[in-house]
Structure 1
Amino acid sequence: MASEGLVVLVIGSLNMDLVARVDSLPEKGETIFGRSFARFPGGKGANQAIAAARMGARVTMVGCVGTDDSGKELQLGLVENHVDASPVRSVDECTGTALITVDRNAANTIIVVPGANDCVTFDDIDTALAGFKTPGILVLQHEIPAQAVCHAVQSAKEKGWFVILNPAPARELPDQVMQYVDILIPNETEAAVLCKRPIQSVEDAAGAARELLAKGVKTVVITMGRQGALCCTNDSLRHVPPLQVSAVDSTAAGDAFVGALSCSLARGETLESALQIASTAAALSVTRPGAQPSLPSWEEVKQYLR
């Protein structure tokens, strides 16, 4: 059951994840044996939409899938998780696919083949935004065309939306777009790309966050896996410590974090409270295999917090 609060509009990717579990990640040119293989519905956009919906948000998803079986399965998965998938278009391209390798320590490597995700247009974005009488929270990632992301950020902000951008996978972001972003949520790898320097510690992350704030972003949250997360504004800096769990698969941890944070803010939580909830959701997600199957519900997060 969706809670009262602002709507969460997710514009992004839908992928079918092909996951191989291995003892260790392969080196360049190396052939290794896998321990298991599975298919999971995924894509950063769809993951974050479902993560927010399971936490209780009213969620609408915008994106593109192919006319193949994977596309139908991904759309059905959104509907079954109470996400409004009516704006998701079917196009004459293969559905996006992610090739994921997960080692025994839950570390992963991911190759994304965009497919239909590259078909998201300005019209898709404008039509979606025009469908809401009241602005809410917009959530974006980098698995759709860069021009579409920039257009969505600027158009939504001009209409009064609160904009959350997860710049993943890592790619440079035009400085002029930064001023429209309310919360930027990179991991340490993505922050390093944006700032063009390595990030290996909480101190490095703090420096990168301040650099991104100087470009106009209102709040920067850098997720750092086992080191927790760092939240930086022009007035404050806080470290959100990690939760101690037994990790199985870290594939959708960042998506769980973004979805839970957006839902919490839509519900009216303070940023401090939303960060704690998001950190808990991310920690619970790594204890389970797969992307969308690992995303926790609000009841599970509340029970853990208690």
Structure 2
Amino acid sequence: MITVLGSINVDMVTNVLKRPLVGETIEGISFKQHAGGKGGNQGVAAAKLGTEVCFLGKVGEDSPGEFVLKNMQTAGVDVSFVEKEPTNTGVATICVDGEGQNNIIVIAGANGLVDKAYIQKNADVIAKSKAIVSQFETPLEATMEAFRIAKENGVLTVLNPAPAKELHADMIQLVDVLVPNEFELETITGMPTNTIEEIDKAIDYLFALHVQVVIVTLGHKGAYRATKEGRMLFEAYKVNAVDTTAAGDSFLGGFIHSYIANKNIDEAISLGQKVASYAVQHEGAQSSMPTMEELETYSANLKQ
């Protein structure tokens, strides 16, 4: 079993030919509502592949909260520890253009009420897990407490530091596997990340703080894996993207599904890339993520 601590959102998605400029009004193509949130997405991605996933987070006492929880349950995520609060469920307003690129505005809602006390109440869930995965759409103090409990119990800690924020060493030292994109890596370390050489220097800084594995996702350029044993660039699969909203979350869900099963980082990255390449060719976040059967059929014809 893995535990995912993170956000649960309703995604309000508007499709447009091009994203509007400041002050510009444009006509949209379509509007849809999807279950989302970085935490929810990552949990669903892993669960749909067959991983046992227990979720820690909060929703509002409203119909969007019921909608998202039902979707997560249908995907196989255990949401029995998710609490409801007398506020709104988190909301993400997403604009997707004709090339599949997006802009996102997030309102935390109940996600902002995930606190240290809630984590302590669910410490046993974390302690029983093989790994805990978290992000930054819930308060940092909650993630730190969850990772502290995990480290005390020998549980693998995996952090997707998004949305990016500056991190102090006491947080970084609780992380075993860090999965940022290059912009998040720059924010975390305060170092430039425009080239592989610069990325390497930022990774060296993280290794000095006891991070064991860094996987930098590079969008259409692939993923860069760094461990103490070596570093390698994994080229991305060449696909025509329809909606990149959950690309990173899909990658992480696929990665953790594979990694907890066989502890092979390279195989886990490869699977994560396949899941992400499948997801970006479909609309929505959680709705775009494949089951293992769908992924196996898709992978038979996939080219890098």
**Shared fold, TM over 0.5:** yes
- Match status 1:207 vs 2:201: yes
Q: Which of 27, 51, 56 is the aligned partner of 1:62?
A: 56
Q: Which of 282, 291, 298 is the aligned partner of 2:292?
A: 298
Q: Which of 103, 110, 115 is the aligned partner of 1:109?
A: 103
Stretch moving more, 199-208 or 96-105 = 199-208
Stretch moving more, 31-40 or 284-293 = 31-40
For 1:37, the equivalent position in structure 2 comes to 31
CA distance, structure 2, for counterparts of residue 303 and residue 207 of structure 1: 39
The one-letter amino acid of 1:247's match is: A
1:83-162 → structure 2 map (5 Å cutoff): 83-131=77-125, 134-162=128-156
The one-letter amino acid of 1:83's match is: V
CA distance, structure 1, for counterparts of residue 271 and residue 294 of structure 2: 11
Structure 2: runs of 5+ lacking an equivalent: none
Contact conserved, 1:166 with 1:184, CA < 8 A, in 2? yes
- Match status 1:22 vs 2:16: yes
Deviation digits for residues 116-141 of structure 1 (CA, Å, limit 9, x no counterpart): 00111223222333146634110001
Q: Which of 212, 227, 230 is the aligned partner of 1:236?
A: 230
CA distance, structure 2, for counterparts of residue 39 and residue 244 of structure 1: 28
CA distance, structure 2, for counterparts of residue 20 and residue 204 of structure 1: 36
Partner-residue secondary structure (3-state), 1:199: coil
Specify whether residues 215 and 28 from structure 1 end up closer, same or farther in structure 2 by C-alpha distance, changes over 3 A only: farther
The one-letter amino acid of 1:189's match is: F
For 1:275, the equivalent position in structure 2 comes to 269
Q: Which of 180, 183, 198 is the aligned partner of 1:186?
A: 180
CA distance, structure 2, for counterparts of residue 107 and residue 204 of structure 1: 26
Specify whether residues 138 and 42 from structure 1 end up closer, same or farther in structure 2 by C-alpha distance, changes over 3 A only: same
CA distance, structure 2, for counterparts of residue 131 and residue 145 of structure 1: 19
- Match status 1:248 vs 2:242: yes
For 1:176, the equivalent position in structure 2 comes to 170
CA distance, structure 1, for counterparts of residue 270 and residue 119 of structure 2: 31
CA distance, structure 2, for counterparts of residue 210 and residue 303 of structure 1: 39
Partner-residue secondary structure (3-state), 2:144: helix
Deviation digits for residues 141-167 of structure 1 (CA, Å, limit 9, x no counterpart): 100011111111122111111000000
Specify whether residues 28 and 202 from structure 1 end up closer, same or farther in structure 2 by C-alpha distance, changes over 3 A only: farther
Contact conserved, 2:243 with 2:283, CA < 8 A, in 1? yes
For 1:48, the equivalent position in structure 2 comes to 42
Stretch moving more, 281-290 or 123-132 = 123-132
- Please state how far the C-alpha of 1:198 moved relative to its aligned partner: 4.1
Percent identical among aligned pairs is: 37
The one-letter amino acid of 1:101's match is: C
CA distance, structure 1, for counterparts of residue 145 and residue 2 of structure 2: 18
Q: Which of 181, 191, 195 is the aligned partner of 2:189?
A: 195
Contact conserved, 2:7 with 2:39, CA < 8 A, in 1? yes
Deviation digits for residues 214-243 of structure 1 (CA, Å, limit 9, x no counterpart): 222111101011000001112210111100
For 2:282, the equivalent position in structure 1 comes to 288
Partner-residue secondary structure (3-state), 1:123: helix
Residue correspondences, number = 300
Specify whether residues 73 and 156 from structure 1 end up closer, same or farther in structure 2 by C-alpha distance, changes over 3 A only: same
- Match status 1:227 vs 2:199: no
The one-letter amino acid of 2:224's match is: L
Partner-residue secondary structure (3-state), 1:267: helix
The one-letter amino acid of 1:185's match is: V
Contact conserved, 1:205 with 1:230, CA < 8 A, in 2? no
